[in-house]
Amino acid sequence: MKTHSENSVSMPPSLLAEVQAAAREEHREADELVRDAVQRYLKDRRWQRLIAYGHEQARKLGLTEQDVPRLIAEYREEKRQGK
């Protein structure tokens, strides 16, 4: 069963040469290195979007970083009381 497909991605020759050199140094294939880099980028992007969403929700609710310890304490107390 095929688990991936081959695609073409273009990049400047100087960047490709740097990727290939890094891959050789790490005893890896260039496509593996690029795949890992893209996965890391996408993971970071998801986190950045989540953080931005949290900031927006906090702004809408009028919350600041100073409110966080109090809100955590309130939540924990509610859980202890079974609410």
Over residues 60-81, the pLDDT tens digits come to: 999 999 999 999 999 999 999 9
Write the single-letter amino acid at 39: Q
Q: Residue 34 and residue 82: Cα distance in Å, rounded?
A: 49
Q: Is the pTM of this model over 0.75?
A: no
Exposure string of 28-40, with b = 16+ CB inside 10 Å and e = fewer, is eeeeebbeeeeee
The domain locations on the chain are 13-80
pLDDT of 41:
98
Helices marked H in 12-29 — which ranges? Answer: 13-25
In this prediction, residue 13 has a pLDDT band, given cuts at 50, 70 and 90, of very high
- Integer Cα distance of 58 and 67 in angstroms: 10
